[in-house]
Amino acid sequence: MPGGVLPKLVIGTVFAAVIAAVVLYVVPSDDYLLLPDKAHPVAPLVTVQGGHNPAGPGGIYFVDVFERRASVFESMFPWIHHGSTLVPASLIVPPGVSDKAVRQADLRAMSVSQRVAAAVALRRLGYRVVAKPSGVIVSALEGTSHAAGKVRVGDLIERVDGSPTPSIAKLRTQMAHVRPGDDVTLSLLRGGKHIAVRVQTMSDPTRSRRAIIGFAPEQAARITLPIKVQIDAGNVGGPSAGLAFALEVMEKLGHNVDHGYRVAATGEIELDGAVGAIGGIKQKTYGVRAAHADVFLVPVAGENARDAKRYAHGLRIIPVKTFAQALRALATLPRKG
């Protein structure tokens, strides 16, 4: 082979490989990456009328998860990102739903969780809080749902077949009278307008005799607080910081909730104080460890606490079912010293 040809072939091969790798890293795949984010202090985000920032060690922390579409390269080699999880895009953005609609739903869920968190904390402190369920929000549609094209993410379901459905529980009670395949009439509030749509139901994949519409429900409520509570989480979406927000409201009002510990918390909080399951528990546990928190309050629901313990690596995981239980668990921690 003539001199210089072999080096040129090697250089050409390497150059082509680099170009291919760059292209694979830029072109999006059909998967999403869940990536850890270091836990953040909640105190700077919460302002309570008449409240103040507590002095001393400790503090309440919330933790988020970065979600973004993976490149083809990342889809092939997800292990290049420490603590990441690769999931099908359909689990993050249901078929037929835009990325923008999902983002708006996440921000709305965060807004709702903030009001509910404040209501739960103030009720615990003896304040009179008015909280009335006002309907069920469609936060996501399943790809197989017959409601696609008729119901939109963000719609508020007020009635099913004429019966009021102010809460998720009432909606399920009404749907219990329907057989899979039957049609139901949904009374919706969309953009300030009341509309009605007819939708064929489908079978629940876990219980074939139960009829469902095929959407992820989110509780809407009218909440009136006796004092002003402002929570600014910026562009962070989703309801999973509810428990942390509720704990911080109590801290702001002079109650030593953390007892000198760096307390991270995750969990969707309900109006009755129940703490619901959240997603991305692996990434959140990594994020809490990165912040060097002492303890991590995690929902029992959805096996969140069990899964968190798999990635704890020495971090103390405290499983909780309710806000009251979370407070008791923190109050019984040994004195920090």
Same domain, 326 and 242: yes
Strand 262-265 relative to strand 59-62: parallel, antiparallel, unpaired?
A: parallel
**Residue where a domain stops, chosen among 170, 188, 221:** 221
Position 163 pLDDT exceeds 60: yes
DSSP character string of 30-83: EEEEEEE---EESGGGEEETT--PPPSS-EEEE--EEEEEEEHHHHH-GGGSTT
Over residues 235-291, the pLDDT tens digits come to 777 778 899 999 999 999 999 999 999 999 999 888 889 898 888 999 999 999 999
**Residue where a domain stops, chosen among 158, 190, 221:** 221
Please provide the average confidence, as pLDDT, over all residues in the chain: 86
- 137 found inside a domain: yes
Q: How confident is the model at residue 296 (pLDDT cuts 50, 70, 90)?
A: very high
Its domain, for residue 211, covers: 131-221
Same domain, 99 and 236: yes
The Cα–Cα gap between 188 and 196 comes to: 6
- 138 found inside a domain: yes
Over residues 170-180, the pLDDT tens digits come to 898 899 999 99
Q: How confident is the model at residue 105 (pLDDT cuts 50, 70, 90)?
A: confident
Position 329 pLDDT exceeds 90: yes
Same domain, 271 and 204: no
Q: What percent of the chain has pLDDT over 70?
A: 89
**DSSP letter, residue 312:** -
pLDDT: which is higher, 200 or 133: 200
Over residues 6-19, the pLDDT tens digits come to 565 666 566 555 56
Same domain, 245 and 291: yes
Q: Please say whether the beta carbons of 233 and 144 come within 8 A.
A: no
Tokens of 231: 């929570």
pLDDT: which is higher, 90 or 23: 90
Contacts of 163 (CB under 8 A, 6+ apart): 170, 174
pLDDT of residue 96: 60
Same domain, 55 and 103: yes
Same domain, 148 and 95: no
Determine the average pLDDT of the residues in 92-102. 67
Burial 61-95 (b: 16+ CB within 10 A, else e): bbbbbebebbbbbbbeebeebebbbbbebeebbbe
**DSSP letter, residue 148:** B
- 6 found inside a domain: no
| CATH code, domain carrying 321 | 3.30.230
Q: What percent of the chain has pLDDT over 90?
A: 51
Q: Considering only 25-29, 219-223, 228-232, which range has the smallest mean pLDDT?
A: 25-29
Same domain, 57 and 173: no
Same domain, 203 and 55: no
- 208 found inside a domain: yes
Same domain, 84 and 197: no
Q: Which uninterrupted H or E stretch holds 324? A: helix 323-331
